[in-house]
Structure 1
Amino acid sequence: MLRPQSVAPFRTPANAVLSLAIGLALSTGTLPAFAAPQDAAGSGTDATELDTILVVSQRAGRVSNGATNLDLDIKDTPQSISVVSSEQMQQFGADSLNEALRLATGIQVEEWETNRSNYTARGFDIANTQIDGVGLPNGWGIVTGAMDTFGYEKLEVIRGANGLLTGVGNAAGTINYVRKRPTNHAEGSAGISVGSWGTTRAEVDYSTPFTDDGRWAGRIVAAHEEGDSWLRGKDDRRDFVYGVVDGQIGDNGTLTLGYAWQDARTDGNMWGALGFMYSDGTQARWDRGASTTQDWTFWDTTSQTAFAEYVHQLGADWQLKLAYNRRDIRNDDRLFYATDFNGTGLEPGTNLGLYGYPWGGEDELTADLVSATANGHFQMFGRDQELMFGVGWSRSENINSEYAGALCSGAPCSYIPMPGFPWGGDVVPEPVWGASSVYSTLDERLKRAYGATRLSFTDRLKAVVGFNYAEYHRDGINYGVTFDQTESETSPYAGLTWDFSPNVLGYVSYSDIYQPQSQSDADGRYLDPTKGANYEVGVKADWLDQRLLTTLAVFRAEQNGLATGAGYNDNGQFYYEGVDVESKGVELEATGRLSEHVDLVVGYTALKLTGQDGDDTYRWVPRRTANLVLSARLPSYTALSFGIGGRWQSDISNVETSGFTVRQDSYAVFNGFVGWDFQPNATLRLNVNNVGDETYINTLRYSGYYGAPRNYTLSLNYRF
């Protein structure tokens, strides 16, 4: 198990880096200029008088533009892309981002403590986040708390390097969150659910035009969830509200204004997680509810986001988009860490040997982003071509504080000898926290210029080429170490597609890798950016009258100077070194509709990671994973729906500070649901998670704990 010093870079300062990523990512992508109007379900609507109003086109359903920001269908994009729809999230009860991303091909959700996770793909952290197509990186790749999914229409996962739009990029991929927008007709839904551990949830989603001619419309989304946990002492409460208004300005402009607020409160959370090794080298096994927490611990996160967009149609073929985004995030936490301290492991028989360490802190982040993007069509080679270009500027300021003078039993808090594990939540009294002091400030700025074009050479041969110029600056102080750094890079992106037939497309793509890193070396200085290259070759094919899309991709990524844990410096702080790592492998995905009543997503990933430890580099990453999402309705009684979702991974391992190796064998977890539309507009649904009641450690990355046992949720949804 890691010591607090090794976790220190991940505690409150890490929230700031994540907040920068999410907060500054809240700019929006360019919408297709001539997409057909769609209803809430995504199907085409009949022509009405609203078709003449520009705002209808702007609200139309989006094709994926997360990889290039061009008007490309997923099949025509020369990268691997998976989509998790709002329907899938609702069917499988995926109310948080962690739950939703487990439905995506090739994504690993690494929950290494109760309030922080990493998402990985192809062996690397996904350190890039977009919202509606544009975003900034998250240097650590850490996601804090349970982010609600109810405000999103879908999640797009672009696997592989994607520096073209994020400004910087690594070899893992990018998650693009597509927000809900107002619909063209009045409609809404409301739902309630009850589940295991006293979990309850209520949610409402309503959209309506404000004017008879449909020029202005709005949407409000709200959710409340609370409940206990299978983990001792842990309970959660989450409130989420999102409102958006859009409408037409003059004959050629549309304006969108939005605001989102989430308040997430967790009591009894773990900072770090469980130790699994005894001093004799054997591996400990605990009850699935085991926790190191104390009763007074909590982690509260409040986030507010506001955004404004203006889109102007510049004639028939071009449009301009201006966007401003603002985000404010506040964290307040009191934490308790448990470690073997000396790296000797637990004492067999007594389970002694752990020490506890209390810590408290606060942080606040404000972030602003301004962007301007233009895209359109032009004629060349006697064919229609597409072009987009844009500029952006962003800035964030972060202040991190801690209760450095906290007192435990009248003395300064330090490592406290703990009784044999497991222990109760009342072993260590809450410290007297005293005054708060600032230990870290961070000011980050990013200037960008980027462009891309899709060129059609023949009916079969097309190309996507682009560039991104980014100037990244950060300055501040962290535990007495001052820094002032400026980096700049121009990165190319290129892809070719060839239509072997109307149903089969082959592609190759290349992207530079350039990612500033927030990890520090032994002297406390930030590491240089990691650089490299990403290559991908694939085949995409339509089947069953274009109802089913299959993708076969072979990839290779080279990341040079990638931050990798190296040990402890003389001050007891965990530090990192830049290491060259190569990932190569193959991915297969099939997604779509097998028949009128059967939907399917199935995926498989196999990879090889090579670095300083040879093929054992990042051994906590499973080398083979598979996923399945199958949902269906009975043909003879379509009111009855059912589905099964599953994930399998190969065995993993890692070395604890004791020097012993902890292991988790391969395992599979399946979730299922049965739904009944007992009225045309009302659905009763039963969800069962971990159907086989599998016992497993959810990750071995830094630390880990046991995944949830079999649990149930009963929900009622009404549509109006």
Structure 2
Amino acid sequence: MKNLPLNLITLTILTTTNAFAEGSKNSDVEKIEVQGTYIEGYGAHEVSGASRLDLSIIEIPQSVSVITSAQMRDFQLSDINAALDSATGINVERIETDRTYYTARGFDVTNFQIDGVGLPLTSGNNHADEDTAIYERIEVIRGANGLMTGVGNPSATINFIRKRPTEETEVSVRGTVGSWDKTRLEVDASTPLTDKVSARVVLVKQDNESYLDRYEQDKSVAYAFIGAELTDSTYLSISHSYNQSDAIGNNWGANPLYYTDGSATDYDASTNTSANWSNWQVVKNNTVVELAHYFNSQWSLRATYSHKTTDEDTELFYVYGTPDKNTELGLLGYASEYDLDDKHNLFDAYINGEFSLFGREHQIVAGINYAKMSYVDKSLYDYTTGNGFPVMPPLPEWDGNTPKPIFTDGLTGSDVTNEQKAAYFTARFEVLDNLHVIAGGRYNDWNVEGNSYNVVQDASDKEFIPYLGAVYQITPELVAYTSYTETFVSQTKLDINDKILAPITGESKEIGIKSEFFDGLLIGSIAYFDVQQTNVAKLDVRTTDLPINLQRYIGAEGISSNGFELEVAGQIYDNLQLSFGFTDFDISGDDVVADYTPSTLIKLAATYTVPAIEGLSIGVNMNWQDDISRKQGVVGDGFANAGEEIVTKQGAYAVVNVMMAYAITDNVSLSLNANNITDEKYINSLYWAQGYYGAPANYSATLSWSL
């Protein structure tokens, strides 16, 4: 399948689906209803990012979580980092104030989609604080998502489902004040404009200082969605989102974690390495056009075009070195200007429907996808004025006061274009009354061209990514499932023969049980997974002593992980909503990753409506992780413990948040939130050799009005 031309696969898929559609053309046409839906509570029943088949969560042979709008509202999860903190199996690696990595099952999460369409993040991480106000829910599909992407790591796919117009006019206004002078105003309005046209608008303005010295953020969000029923069977929509984040005093890198004698540093939680002129401005725009058409009651077509841009302008200050424990001296500053211009163009079209074969009913989805991503970035430094690399005072005394450099030296950067063409199909076969098999795959034709910081990025790969899953219905409420899927990542490293290494390949195997309780109000699952990644570039020892541009690589075994996940979400009793996730796994193949990745995660969110006091609800949101560490080298000469290994450790800890909400009237409510109520002090991440502390105890109050 590797060398099968893409157009042949596409033609075969569309011809097949067209034949099925023609066979059903006399069926009644079903009127399209594309409206926003509010998921009450913490239990969701369907997801759209796993296969595009019309399946409930328990019918999908893969681990799936949903962070609902109710959960985001109750605990003020207004940015994606806070939201994903609550997702089963997801670890949020806050390495800096405005740059974040995400991991699942030991691998970086790079696949982020909006309504099922997207590409891996440009640099594998997210910049700035992205708001959740425009999203109805967030879907997390863990493991390799070979059907919907096929490119990336076998970790997870995060699918953001945007808010859409509602059938009736709805308006809500929410105002929040909180610790460190936080103010936030959010407006969400949806209304039918005519019998056939409806619209929704979301506006957000947020300004806040921080527990970190000098750090402030100003955030603006605007989102508009308009949809029209062109006919009883055709729906067209266009939407645009604007997200601006202006950060001042942001860090680049973070605090040193050990002294020259190997002992651990222990700064105030407010310690920030930024200069007083540091800033990071990010503007993201995303325009989406969607078309949906029903041929008849069984077959439909959906097409999406998305144009997304990211513009970043930064002036950064990095602190490096190892301080002396007695004097706190030994650190140096390192200033840089960084600018990024990133563009994504994506087109996706698929047809889905039902057909009869051998006396049984089956489903199929077949589609094509085109994506082009290009980015240009540049970095500048100051090698001439003396302000680009200043000697630092003791970090506990650092107030950010250093002359601003003139960024005119050492221009470097990137100019890279990624292009992907793909065709995919998924079929769900009813093999027996209680047994369904899902089989499919995705053919990716991937091409990368350009140069990044003097490293050629040219690479080209063609891969067929298979998917196979089975679901056996033990009882009407209980199913057992198993699945297998793959991913791949292109590489640019050269081997000893100056040939580009073959792609990094990943595979994910999973087996589990899912069940519905209380007439579907509660969904539970338990899964065992085995994830592997192979052919990761490793330096060829024969070229170790050569200059960097002449060093060559070999494909080596990568990371593998296996473990269990347990999840329960939904309504337990009439007044109790619960979301609980437990993850425990082991990583092999990379001791560094195994050390800094928590192997056990517990996520809990619960709200209780107090029957004795009408309108009152209380809740708790808790994240717990076990201990992590990072080896930092050895103690140098001149110390009694010279040669001793330096290990940074962060013990197991829990962050506990609580909330209380009271409905003053049918339209007005007040909610109070307290975060990290135990005032736990902890290092956010050991993903890098530096780190900074999480937020101490903080509080907010939100007044809401709705129509």
TM-score (norm 1): 0.87
Q: Tell me which residue corresponds to 1:191.
A: 174
Q: Tell me: CA distance 1:443–1:523, structure 2 relative to 1, closer, same or farther (3 Å).
A: farther
Distance 2:353 2:30 in 1: 19
Residues 604-623 of structure 1 mapped to structure 2, 5 A cutoff: 604-613=582-591, 617-623=593-599
2:475 pairs with 1:475: no
Instruction: Report the alpha carbon displacement of residue 595 of structure 1 after superposing the two structures with TM.
Output: 1.2
Q: Tell me which residue corresponds to 1:646.
A: 622
Instruction: Report the alpha carbon displacement of residue 138 of structure 1 after superposing the two structures with TM.
Output: 2.7
Cα deviation per residue 1:512-531 (whole Å; 9 max; x = unaligned)?
13123589999999865311
Distance 1:602 1:568 in 2: 51
Distance 2:539 2:397 in 1: 30
| Contact kept? 1:338, 1:357, Cα under 8 Å | yes
Q: Tell me which residue corresponds to 2:673.
A: 687
Query: Aligned-residue CA RMSD in angstroms?
Result: 2.6
Instruction: Report the alpha carbon displacement of residue 402 of structure 1 after superposing the two structures with TM.
Output: 2.4
2:350 pairs with 1:363: no
Aligned amino acid, residue 324 of structure 2: E
Instruction: Report the alpha carbon displacement of residue 612 of structure 1 after superposing the two structures with TM.
Output: 4.4
Residues 122-201 of structure 1 mapped to structure 2, 5 A cutoff: 122-138=105-121, 140-201=123-184
> Mind listing any 5+ residue stretches in structure 2 that lack a counterpart?
1-28, 39-44, 635-644
Give 3-state SS (helix, strand or coil) of 1:133's partner. Answer: coil
Q: Tell me which residue corresponds to 1:19.
A: none
Distance 1:546 1:95 in 2: 28
| Contact kept? 2:176, 2:183, Cα under 8 Å | yes
Aligned amino acid, residue 361 of structure 2: D
| Contact kept? 2:572, 2:578, Cα under 8 Å | yes
Q: Tell me: CA distance 1:399–1:485, structure 2 relative to 1, closer, same or farther (3 Å).
A: same
Distance 2:493 2:334 in 1: 23
Distance 1:308 1:391 in 2: 16
Instruction: Report the alpha carbon displacement of residue 322 of structure 1 after superposing the two structures with TM.
Output: 1.9
2:511 pairs with 1:537: yes
Instruction: Report the alpha carbon displacement of residue 571 of structure 1 after superposing the two structures with TM.
Output: 6.2
2:402 pairs with 1:428: yes
Instruction: Report the alpha carbon displacement of residue 625 of structure 1 after superposing the two structures with TM.
Output: 1.1
2:268 pairs, out of 281, 287, 292, with 287
| Contact kept? 1:496, 1:508, Cα under 8 Å | yes
Instruction: Report the alpha carbon displacement of residue 465 of structure 1 after superposing the two structures with TM.
Output: 0.7
| Contact kept? 1:167, 1:448, Cα under 8 Å | no
| Contact kept? 1:54, 1:254, Cα under 8 Å | no
Q: Which moved more, 1:455-464 or 1:91-100?
A: 455-464
Distance 1:143 1:575 in 2: 30
Aligned amino acid, residue 603 of structure 1: G
Residues 230-629 of structure 1 mapped to structure 2, 5 A cutoff: 230-340=211-321, 345-404=322-381, 406=382, 410-411=385-386, 415-434=389-408, 437=411, 439-516=413-490, 528-562=502-536, 579-613=557-591, 617-629=593-605
Q: Tell me which residue corresponds to 1:9.
A: none
Cα deviation per residue 1:243-281 (whole Å; 9 max; x = unaligned)?
000011123211010001111011001101111111212
Q: Tell me which residue corresponds to 1:696.
A: 682
Aligned amino acid, residue 356 of structure 1: G
Distance 1:656 1:519 in 2: 26
Residues 695-714 of structure 1 mapped to structure 2, 5 A cutoff: 695-702=681-688, 703-714=690-701
Distance 2:490 2:610 in 1: 51
Give 3-state SS (helix, strand or coil) of 2:147's partner. Answer: helix
Give 3-state SS (helix, strand or coil) of 2:208's partner. Answer: strand
Cα deviation per residue 1:618-661 (whole Å; 9 max; x = unaligned)?
31001111111001101122300110000111100012366621
> Mind listing any 5+ residue stretches in structure 1 that lack a counterpart?
1-51
Instruction: Report the alpha carbon displacement of residue 57 of structure 1 after superposing the two structures with TM.
Output: 4.6
Distance 1:626 1:598 in 2: 19
Instruction: Report the alpha carbon displacement of residue 429 of structure 1 after superposing the two structures with TM.
Output: 0.8
Aligned amino acid, residue 401 of structure 1: K
| Contact kept? 1:671, 1:687, Cα under 8 Å | yes
Aligned amino acid, residue 630 of structure 1: A
| Contact kept? 1:135, 1:165, Cα under 8 Å | no
Distance 2:76 2:306 in 1: 30
Give 3-state SS (helix, strand or coil) of 2:82's partner. Answer: helix
| Contact kept? 1:139, 1:518, Cα under 8 Å | no
| Contact kept? 1:481, 1:524, Cα under 8 Å | no
Q: Which moved more, 1:524-533 or 1:320-329?
A: 524-533
Cα deviation per residue 1:199-254 (whole Å; 9 max; x = unaligned)?
1000000000011x3x1100000101111100111000100000000011123211
Distance 1:208 1:361 in 2: 42
Q: Which moved more, 1:322-331 or 1:433-442?
A: 433-442
| Contact kept? 2:144, 2:150, Cα under 8 Å | no
Distance 1:471 1:612 in 2: 30
Give 3-state SS (helix, strand or coil) of 2:180's partner. Answer: helix
Q: Tell me: CA distance 1:575–1:175, structure 2 relative to 1, closer, same or farther (3 Å).
A: farther
Instruction: Report the alpha carbon displacement of residue 686 of structure 1 after superposing the two structures with TM.
Output: 0.4
Cα deviation per residue 1:40-89 (whole Å; 9 max; x = unaligned)?
xxxxxxxxxxxx98342565679212111111101110011111011111
2:99 pairs with 1:99: no
Distance 1:481 1:432 in 2: 26
Q: Tell me: CA distance 1:426–1:697, structure 2 relative to 1, closer, same or farther (3 Å).
A: closer
Q: Tell me which residue corresponds to 2:21.
A: none
Distance 2:545 2:91 in 1: 28
Aligned amino acid, residue 615 of structure 2: A
Q: Tell me: CA distance 1:302–1:524, structure 2 relative to 1, closer, same or farther (3 Å).
A: farther
Aligned amino acid, residue 682 of structure 2: Y
Cα deviation per residue 1:107-165 (whole Å; 9 max; x = unaligned)?
11110111111111111111211111232223643111100000000001111111210
Q: Tell me which residue corresponds to 1:41.
A: none
Cα deviation per residue 1:301-356 (whole Å; 9 max; x = unaligned)?
0011111111111122111112211111100000011111xxxx321211112111
Give 3-state SS (helix, strand or coil) of 1:75's partner. Answer: helix
User: Aligned residue pairs: how many?
Assistant: 658
| Contact kept? 1:361, 1:436, Cα under 8 Å | no
Cα deviation per residue 1:185-204 (whole Å; 9 max; x = unaligned)?
11110010100000100000
Distance 1:595 1:138 in 2: 40
Q: Which moved more, 1:575-584 or 1:101-110?
A: 575-584
